Structure 1
Amino acid sequence: MKPNILIITSSDGKNLELANKLNDLSKDFNGEFSVLKLSDYELPLYSTKEEENGTPEAAKALTDKFLSADGFIFLSPEYNGSVTPSFINSIAWVSRSGNEDWRSAFNNKPAAIGTHSGGGGNHVLMAMQSQLSFIGCHIVGRKLLTSYSKELNEDSAKSVLDLVAKLASK
């Protein structure tokens, strides 16, 4: 059975374009790759007060997607030296979704990280690596980094896709 790999983007701009390009390149690899746009999930800003209203259906649906995934590719632009608010808010809701073992959405699953960034992207890559490692993902060593002056290296991207698919198959 082919592993289910989510290509998750926390923006609808250049990182969505990057996600779609990666999805196109993934056809040669042993995995069921699909793009998941966090903007498709209308989540309120997480707070304990908001949580008192119950878990939103969008958070439950997003949690189900994460639980069913065997691996991930996370893409986010750099916002003020970190990830987008939608990235952190989505993880907050998954962690508070009411699922008793929410960490199984992340634990021991391979994840690649990447960005299309106008500002270099190193800070967002470090932020994603720190956050995702903390919640249990195994971050692969190679990163995906594009900018307005640096196009996607397709050979490098294919290596990352292949690695995530192989690790997710185990």
Structure 2
Amino acid sequence: MDLSDFDSWVAARGPALLRLAYTLTGDAGEAEDVVQEALSRALPRWERISRVEDVDAYVRRMVLNAHTSRWRAWRRRVTPVERVADRAVMATPDRPDHVEHDERLRIWAACLALPEAQRVAVVLRYYEQLEYAEIAALTGVREGSVRSRVSRGLAALRAELGRSASDEEEES
């Protein structure tokens, strides 16, 4: 097995895998663990994996599977609370960048609140910019299910972000 091919591929594609894992997990350390787990499974199989038609898609699927496995294991160990205390950034007239940062935090929190399947579908569609058929192939569900998950995820995001915006207006 030629490890230099694997090392070269990881050097080129590793950052994209980390970005994908980060958008799925919401935590840099967890993202690194997910990618590490996927790559540690890919290494012994690299000779076979390197011959598949789309190596990137294959390893991306491995990252998704590693994330799902970790999430399921975590879910069995931990009982999540219904609502996490907000960490709002105060916007000030002299620091308008805080408003943008606050908006990103709101969007990020809304994404993390989506059910796992919806979050994966939305991330792959809008962050990775994959087509519905590609997402279906990666996640192992029908294209119609992917479309439904994306649609429901977007509806939930719109509802949550609209609710958050109206709550803020009422407080003002």
Please, what TM-score do these two structures have when normalized by structure 1? 0.25
Query: Highest relative contact order (Cα 8 Å, sep 6+), 1 or 2?
Result: 1
